[in-house]
Amino acid sequence: MKKIYYLLALVIVAFASCKPLNKTYQDIDSAPLSDVKLTLSTSEYKSLPSTNYAFNSFNFKTINDANLSIPNILAIKYPVIADLKSATVSFALDPTTSSIASPDVTLARNAIVLVTPADHNFPATTTNGNLIPGNTLAYFTSDVAINYLNYKYPTPAAYQMVVLTYNYFETGVTSATGNVVTDTFVFLKNTWTKIYTVSPAQYASVSRGTNNMFLTTDLPSIIFYLNSILKEDAILMSGITTGSTIYVAYKYNTTDQRVQGLTYDGSNWVSRQTLSFLKVKGIWLPDPTVTIIEGTGVNPDFVWLRDNTSIGTATARANLASFGDYNINATGTTVWNDADLTASLAAILLHRFPTPTAGIPYKIIYSVFVSKVTQTSKVFTFNGTAFVLQTQ
For 50-108, write each residue's pLDDT tens digit.
Answer: 999 999 888 888 777 898 999 999 999 998 888 778 888 888 877 655 555 443 344 55
Q: Could you list the residue range(s) of the whole structural domain that residue 73 is in?
A: 19-94+271-286
Domain contains 215: no
pLDDT digits 0-9 by tens, 129-153: 778 899 999 999 999 999 999 998 8
Last residue within a domain, chosen from 260, 286, 312: 286
pTM attached to this predicted model: 0.53
Residue partners of 143: CB distance under 8 A and separation at least 6: none
276 lies in the same domain as 341 = no
Of the residues 253, 286, 319, the one at which a domain ends: 286
The arithmetic mean of pLDDT across residues 184-211, rounded, is 89
| Boundary (domain end) residue, out of 286, 312, 327 | 286
Number of domains in the chain: 2
Strands 113-114, 161-168: pairing kind: parallel
Same structural domain, 328 and 278: no
Do 55 and 83 have their domain in common?
yes
**pLDDT band at residue 34 using 50, 70 and 90 as cut-offs:** low
Together in a domain, 282 and 296: no
* Residue 29: per-residue pLDDT: 39
Residue length of the chain: 392
pLDDT value of position 127: 74
Tell me the percentage of the chain whose pLDDT exceeds 90.
33
Residue 313 placed within a domain:
yes
| Residue 254 maps to a domain | no
The answer on 321 and 276 residing in a single domain is no
Per-position b or e across 272-299, b if 16+ CB within 10 A of its CB: bbbbbbbbbeeebbbbbbbbbbbbbebb
Tens digit of each residue's pLDDT (9 = 90 or more) over 246-283: 888 888 887 677 888 788 888 888 877 778 888 878 88
Q: Same domain, yes or no, for 336 and 377?
A: yes
Determine, yes or no, domain membership for 353. Answer: yes
Neighbouring residues of 13: CB distance < 8 A, sequence distance ≥ 6: 101, 289, 290, 291
SS3 315: helix
275 with 344, same domain: the answer is no
pLDDT of 6 > 60? The answer is no
**By C-alpha distance, which of 96, 20, 69 is closest to 252?**
96
Domain assignment present for residue 311? The answer is yes
Dist CA 179 CA 166 (whole Å)? 8
Establish if 57 belongs to a structural domain.
Answer: yes
Q: Tell me: the pLDDT tens digits for 316-375?
A: 999 999 888 999 987 888 999 999 999 999 999 999 888 888 877 888 889 899 888 888
281 and 322 in a single domain? The answer is no
